[in-house]
C-alpha cells in the first residue's frame, strides 16, 4: 500500500475515533469477527491499547460490542468491512452504508442496498456472542496479550 494512502486511512480512522469520543449523542454497535482480535497487528502492547479503547467505549455506554466467533464459520460479511449509518431525531437524512474497499470506498443509499446490509447485520448480531459474553471474552484476550 502506498504510504500516502496508508497515512490517509489512519487519519480518517483517528478522526472517526475523536468524533465518537467527543459526541455524547452518538451510539455505535460493533460486530467484530473473532479473527481481528487474534491478528496481533503492531504487537501485544498495541493490541492491549486497541482493546482498552473498545472496552472503554463500552463502559461509557457509547458502544455495544459483539464478537462473531470462529465457530460461526463463513458469514455474509467476511470479505467486507462496512458501516451502516443511521440518523435519528430531527435530522432528515436517509441511512447510508459505507463500504471500505482495497481500491476505493463506496457510499450506498438505495433502499434495496440498505435492506441487504440490515439483513446481514441482523444475521451477524444473531450469530454473535451476547454483549455481556463478548465483553468478557475481549477482557480475557486483553489479559492474554498482557501476559505475552
Digitized pLDDT (tens) for each residue of the chain, 148 residues in all? 577 766 777 777 777 677 666 766 677 889 999 998 988 888 889 999 999 988 998 998 888 999 999 998 888 787 788 999 887 776 678 899 999 887 888 999 999 999 999 999 999 999 999 999 999 999 999 999 988 7
Which of 67, 78, 63 is CA-nearest to residue 29? 63
Residue 121: all three cell numbers together: 447485520
Q: Rounded to the nearest 5°, which phi and psi values hold at 62?
A: -90, -25
- Write down the pTM of the prediction: 0.79
Amino acid at each position: 500500500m502506498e504510504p500516502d494512502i496508508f497515512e490517509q486511512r489512519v487519519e480518517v480512522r483517528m478522526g472517526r475515533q475523536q468524533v465518537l469520543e467527543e459526541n455524547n449523542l452518538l451510539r455505535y454497535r460493533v460486530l467484530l469477527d473473532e479473527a481481528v482480535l487474534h491478528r496481533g497487528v503492531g504487537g501485544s502492547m498495541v493490541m492491549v491499547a486497541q482493546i482498552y479503547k473498545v472496552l472503554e467505549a463500552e463502559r461509557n455506554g457509547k458502544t455495544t460490542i459483539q464478537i462473531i466467533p470462529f465457530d460461526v464459520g463463513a458469514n455474509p460479511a467476511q470479505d467486507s468491512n462496512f458501516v451502516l449509518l443511521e440518523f435519528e431525531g430531527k435530522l432528515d437524512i436517509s441511512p447510508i452504508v459505507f463500504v471500505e474497499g482495497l481500491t476505493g470506498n463506496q457510499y450506498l443509499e438505495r433502499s434495496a442496498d440498505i435492506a441487504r446490509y440490515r439483513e446481514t447485520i441482523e444475521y451477524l448480531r444473531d450469530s454473535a456472542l451476547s454483549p455481556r459474553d463478548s465483553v468478557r471474552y475481549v477482557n480475557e484476550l486483553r489479559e492474554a496479550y498482557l501476559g505475552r
